[in-house]
Structure 1
Amino acid sequence: MKSPNLSPVKTTNRIEILDIWRGFAVFGIFMVNIEIMNSVFINQDLYYEEMIGPLDSIIIRLSQLFFYNKFFPIFSFLFGLGIAMQLEKLKLKKKSRSFILKRMLILFIIGILHITLIWGGDVIHLYAILGVLISILYKLYSRCLLLLACYFLLFPFYDIVAEYIFSWIGFSPENILKTYNYDTVTKVLRNGSYTEALKFRILEYFSNVQVLFVFLAPMAFSMMLLGTSFVRSGKILKLREFILKNKNTFIWLAIITNVYRIIFLFILPNFDIYRDDFLGPIWLKLMIICDTLFGLFYMWFIAWLWFTGKLIKALKPLASVGKMALSNYILQSFIGVIIFNGIGFSMYQKLNLVQCFFTVISVFIFQLILSKIWLQHFKFGPLEWCWRCLSYGKLFSIKKEKSQ
């Protein structure tokens, strides 16, 4: 019996709100990433002391309230949802899930190239690793996947586990950059050669392993599991009904999470219990949970606007960016390198946070225009096309046929 042809999802079958969510997440992630591009973690304390003015303080508060840890969960949810939809398709075609493993391997390689050639803040390789785990757990019932999502989000002892593992293998992330200080980092990134920046970028990546795998990975995995559960339960097929039916739930979710986030940012720091060795990590964990849940509120609110016909013209352009999410994510890193590093305009730590904010707005407007123009002539983003061709082992046409 001849095997059915395994081909990509046709653009005509796409669920447009998913692309709008992706486009929105691309914007929010760059708003967070640009601060790290402008001043890496080990430099940020001194940078903020020197550069922060009244307007910058407002930007920090706005970022804490509306951007930090809000968009990474959205991307993660959509990534898990995307893998689940592909696995459903493979099941219908009676194909092995080895196809997903191949896609994750290619994505992992793209992420590693991103780290080494452009920017060390990549999360694509992490998504690829977690995507393999998602493909393994996918057969579980939707309720089991939901329980696992809650467990990985709520588990409070990641730091303790990581400390034990790092101690056992003799790995000390905090010592990797000990030969670098504020001035040497600034010199390398602002005026250094590409080779010097490359060496620092790789070392910086390993110094941030704890942030990546202890802080971000559990959040990402829990949201991927949630996205997978969303597909397994069939809610993706009744998305409009789900969004409209759960209005009160998501509004209360936003109210409760925002009340705690305001308390954490503006009230708790005035009390000793904020700095208590036992209670301090608990307050922070609750903040992470609230940030993650607020990201889900963002998704609901955008979908509610979409399905109720409000602001459709304003939201629709985000779909073009979302259809090219991988290409646009990498493009943001490339633009960041050109702006801040020595191979470009050497603006590292020369911009304040207000200037960074408007840089993001300008770059994203450029991406909105570029994505729309690109998709008028091509079916997929350039990296999306490469990923598809490598995954399916065949050369797909990327150009759109001209209408007669």
Structure 2
Amino acid sequence: MGILLVNALMMAGPYDLASVADPDASTLDRTVVGIVQALVAGKFYLMFSFLFGYSFTLQLDSAERAGARAVPRQLRRSFGLFLLGLLHAVLLYVGDILMTYAVLGLVLIAARNCSPRTALRAARIAYGCASTLLLLVGLASLLLSDAEAAELDAELAAELPALIASYRGDAASVVHANIGQLPDALLAVLPMGGFVLGAFLMGLHCGRRRLLTDTGIPRARLRRICLRGAALGLPGGLFMALAVSGPLGPRWTILGQMVGMVMASALTASYICAMLLLMRTARGARIAALLAPAGRMALTNYLSQSLVMALVFTGYGFALYDRLSPAVVVLGALVLYAAQLALSARLMARYRYGPAEWLLRAITLARLPHAPDRSATPR
């Protein structure tokens, strides 16, 4: 849901969550975008990355139980993810994350035999290096005067009418716009790479120690991480919202984005621990049961979200790009997520895999997954 909220605002127009402010945005628009920036943006792709690293350990165990070689399996899986990501970026949403996962997932394959302590140390190094670099870039941006920063924003804004026209055009113009933005999108992923890699390795560390099981982490420790993460992450998210969508001005935009990215992991850790605490309660168990079917077909839901939003916002369908307010977009995203929860429950009651999961599994195993994998852990 968190990824959907961010992607919906990114696909809805060129201003929301971007560094260029919408000159016609209302107070409600800025408030909605600010809330998403403070509480959501940058937090949930890290959670997804952490789970990607954690699940890697489960897949290694599955390959071992099946007597299969893990490395060829994982290389095929990375190829499948990259192919799906490339098609996703060209046809639907240029902000795809699957290609990044496919490439950085090769590091997980190389580190598959490392100890939990080594994985944790490597995660800290990756996070520290990425944080240092981004904070230096953000601080350097303060050397710009307000006039220079405003001039840069004006140059970026001058390119937006052509982009808006492309996404409101026919299918060919949408694909052309996506391809045209792909190099910049890939460059924008580079600052995230260190954090994604750090989250992968942290997931590898936790997966090796089985820390997400009921007996993995004591409740008291979960509470401490939850509170400390919120205490660190919320101010960082608030500063990003004030700098990008608030009153601080264009000179602070880059620093705000960098601080928000650096502090996002603290809030992500807080969210994860809060969810683990909740799911250990009776009410939380019911919530987990509601969410579980969508989690079993997360890849299908991720891709289908982009398909639905492309039909709504681009020339594939209604061409509402830059025509809906952020409040309407966020509300629509929540409705879409609720519909996916209901549909996922119906599908997972009848099938073992979602369509995209079935395809990726076929590529990973190099065979059709027509029958349940008897080596897999029952769920």
Change in CA separation of 1:114 and 1:289 when aligned onto 2, cut-off 3 Å: same
SS of residue in 1 equivalent to 2:83: helix
Matches within 5 A, 1:222-237: 222-236=198-212
Pick aligned residue for 1:106 from 80, 94, 101: 80
1:187 aligns with 2:165: yes
1:130 aligns with 2:108: no
Separation in structure 1 between the aligned mates of residue 248 and residue 313 of structure 2, nearest angstrom: 38
Paired AA for residue 97 in structure 2: V
Separation in structure 2 between the aligned mates of residue 65 and residue 44 of structure 1, nearest angstrom: 14
Pick aligned residue for 2:287 from 314, 319, 335: 314
Identity of matched residues, %? 21
Report the counterpart of residue 72 of structure 1 in structure 2: 45
Using the TM superposition, give the Cα deviation of residue 41 of structure 1 relative to its aligned residue in structure 2, in angstroms: 6.1
Matches within 5 A, 1:293-312: 293-312=266-285
Pick aligned residue for 1:121 from 95, 101, 107: 95
Separation in structure 1 between the aligned mates of residue 311 and residue 339 of structure 2, nearest angstrom: 15
1:209 aligns with 2:164: no
Using the TM superposition, give the Cα deviation of residue 234 of structure 1 relative to its aligned residue in structure 2, in angstroms: 3.8
Which consecutive residues of structure 1, in runs of 5 or more, have no partner in the other structure?
1-26, 162-173, 400-404
* 8 Å Cα contact 1:105-1:128 kept in structure 2: yes
Pick aligned residue for 2:262 from 286, 289, 293: 289
Change in CA separation of 1:261 and 1:113 when aligned onto 2, cut-off 3 Å: closer
SS of residue in 1 equivalent to 2:282: coil
Q: How many residues align?
A: 351
Paired AA for residue 390 in structure 1: I
Report the counterpart of residue 227 of structure 2 in structure 1: 251
Report the counterpart of residue 143 of structure 2 in structure 1: none
Report the counterpart of residue 85 of structure 1 in structure 2: 58
Report the counterpart of residue 198 of structure 1 in structure 2: 175
Separation in structure 2 between the aligned mates of residue 213 and residue 264 of structure 1, nearest angstrom: 19
Separation in structure 1 between the aligned mates of residue 311 and residue 239 of structure 2, nearest angstrom: 39
User: Could you tell which deviates more after superposition, 388-397 or 196-205?
Assistant: 388-397
Change in CA separation of 1:150 and 1:230 when aligned onto 2, cut-off 3 Å: same
* 8 Å Cα contact 1:47-1:349 kept in structure 2: no
1:317-362 Cα offsets, whole Å, 9 max, x none, are 1111111100000000000110011120111100001101111011
Using the TM superposition, give the Cα deviation of residue 307 of structure 1 relative to its aligned residue in structure 2, in angstroms: 0.9
* 8 Å Cα contact 2:210-2:216 kept in structure 1: no
Paired AA for residue 32 in structure 2: I
Using the TM superposition, give the Cα deviation of residue 88 of structure 1 relative to its aligned residue in structure 2, in angstroms: 3.1
Using the TM superposition, give the Cα deviation of residue 84 of structure 1 relative to its aligned residue in structure 2, in angstroms: 1.9
Separation in structure 2 between the aligned mates of residue 189 and residue 264 of structure 1, nearest angstrom: 28
* 8 Å Cα contact 1:243-1:300 kept in structure 2: no
SS of residue in 1 equivalent to 2:183: helix
Report the counterpart of residue 3 of structure 1 in structure 2: none
1:234-254 Cα offsets, whole Å, 9 max, x none, are 424x44440524122322221
Separation in structure 2 between the aligned mates of residue 148 and residue 225 of structure 1, nearest angstrom: 7
* 8 Å Cα contact 1:154-1:289 kept in structure 2: no
1:134-190 Cα offsets, whole Å, 9 max, x none, are 1101222211111111121121226989xxxxxxxxxxxx9xx99x82222111111
Using the TM superposition, give the Cα deviation of residue 107 of structure 1 relative to its aligned residue in structure 2, in angstroms: 1.2
* 8 Å Cα contact 1:253-1:297 kept in structure 2: yes
User: Could you tell which deviates more after superposition, 120-129 or 138-147?
Assistant: 138-147
Pick aligned residue for 2:366 from 393, 397, 400: 393
Q: CA RMSD in A?
A: 3.1
Which consecutive residues of structure 2, in runs of 5 or more, have no partner in the other structure?
138-151, 373-379
Report the counterpart of residue 63 of structure 1 in structure 2: 36
Change in CA separation of 1:203 and 1:95 when aligned onto 2, cut-off 3 Å: same
1:37-71 Cα offsets, whole Å, 9 max, x none, are 01136995666212x21221221221122111110
TM-score (normalizing by structure 1): 0.78
TM-score (normalizing by structure 2): 0.83
Matches within 5 A, 1:323-334: 323-334=296-307
